[in-house]
Amino acid sequence: MKCPRLVESQKLDFQLGEALARETRLWKALVFKNGKIQGTDISPTQHDEVVLWLLELCSRFHFYPETFALATSILNRLLASVKAQLKYLRCIAITCLILAAKSNEEDDMILSVKDLAVQSGCNCSPAEILRMERIILDKLHWDLYIATGVDFINIFHAMVMSSRPHLPDLLVQKNPSLHAAFLTRQVQHCMACHQLSQFRGSILALAIITLELERLAPDWFSVFTDLLKKAQIESIELIQCKELVDHHLNSLETFPPNAVYIFHPANQDIMAHQIYFHPNKQDLDQPDIRSAVLHSGLPGLSRCQPEKVQMSGKAMEVDEFYDCCRLPLE
């Protein structure tokens, strides 16, 4: 009779392999050129704003984190594939959310298109959303599901907890589910950073789980190398992503006076945990922490300052368009 832990490990390895295969086949990186997403008139800041708006809507409608992640992935795949205009961005985004909800949510959790249009404040008519839905499905060949950062964080977290049964005792709340939920919120906020949209979901998730392993486990490097090998990720790319993730999550701790809390509940949770989860610069003067950094085997990179995302005082303008007009997505 097989050991239950071995069976679980094999199952997780299979799930990871399937997720990586779909990601490899479908993932597309956004290309930024001359301060815009290539082929569009959408700036990086405008992209981040609309992703944060989707995060707020998912909280309001009580959608799963997987729904937000899939909606953002569909949005990024579309923007990487077509020539989209800023005035249609919110219509595209709300339609991506509707498609993701249809894939992940229970039927009784999904509002009608009319109600979603009204309650989201997207300034689109139901007819416009339905027409945009057909366009997105056509452009993405009806193949919407791609493994996201949220999917990968769940797989990696389960792998770590399965291989290191003692880790739950090191958690603040002694609850792996709550810990996974916290890491999921980190993934969600990182998906609203355009610099991090350049990395596949598997790399983003592994960067986040690695930062946690460094804090929790003295033998974190052996766990890290095992996950890195299974995920088939280049170490240099992971290091670059990890540096940006660390800087981005730490930047959430301090907001300028005019900042707007787009997704207030999650921001509160992250700020509450950052004090414990991420040591400040003074901590690096401690011999044990400094030794861990110096002997981690990972070369240091200079930190990049992520562009801060702030909402402007005015609402985004969205031109009206009519049912008889064809949306200019090429």
User: Which tens digits make up the pLDDT trace of 215-266?
Assistant: 887 778 888 888 999 999 988 999 999 999 999 999 886 444 444 444 444 4
Number of separate domains in the chain: 2
Domain extent, residue 201, equals 149-253+261-294
Element (H, E) at 33: strand 32-33
Tokens 């008889």 locate to: 324
Contacts of 232 (CB under 8 A, 6+ apart): 20
- End of a domain among 139, 166, 181? 139
Q: How far is CA 302 from CA 117, 299, 305, in A?
A: 44, 10, 10
The verdict on 107 and 163 lying in the same domain is no
Same domain, 83 and 216: no
Specify if 247 maps to a domain.
yes
Return the C-alpha torsion angle 66, 67, 73, 78, nearest 10. Answer: 160
312 in any annotated domain = no
Residue of 79, 281, 66, 243 whose CA lies nearest to 153: 66
Is 320 inside any structural domain? no
Tell me, yes or no, whether 273 lies in a domain. Answer: yes
Q: Do the domain assignments include residue 310?
A: no
Are residues 135 and 160 both part of a single domain? no
Indicate whether 130 and 39 sit together in one domain: yes
Contacts of 134 (CB under 8 A, 6+ apart): none
- In which residue are the tokens 């799930």 written? 15
| Per-residue pLDDT at 205 | 97
281 and 198 housed in the same domain = yes
Does the residue 191 lie in any domain? yes
Q: Which residues of the chain have pLDDT under 70?
A: 1-5, 172-173, 253-330
> H-helix or E-strand containing 183?
helix 176-191
Contact yes or no for 79/30 (Cβ under 8 A): yes
| Same domain, yes or no: 224 and 189 | yes
**Assigned domain for 238 exists:** yes
Q: What is the model's pLDDT at position 294?
A: 33
Q: Six-digit token pair at 313?
A: 């005082």
Asked whether residue 79 falls in the same domain as residue 110, the answer is yes
Residue 180 domain-assigned (yes or no): yes
pLDDT for the residue 171:
76
Q: Please, which residues bridge with residue 33 across strands?
A: 36
Residue 135 sits in a domain whose CATH number is: 1.10.472.10
Residue 317 DSSP class: P
Q: What letter does residue 311 receive in the DSSP assignment?
A: -
Q: Which two tokens stand for residue 262?
A: 């787009």
Say if residue 286 is in the same domain as residue 160. yes
Residues 170, 269 within the same domain: yes
Reported as a single tens digit per residue, the pLDDT across 153-190 is 999 999 998 887 777 777 766 788 888 999 999 999 99
SS3 content of the chain, % helix, strand, coil (to 5): 65, 0, 35
Q: What pLDDT does residue 2 have? A: 58
User: CA–CA separation, 191 vs 207, rounded Å?
Assistant: 13
Question: Same domain for 154 and 232?
Answer: yes
Of 106, 139, 172, the one marking the end of a domain is 139
Instruction: Report the C-alpha gap between 39 and 85 in whole angstroms.
Output: 9
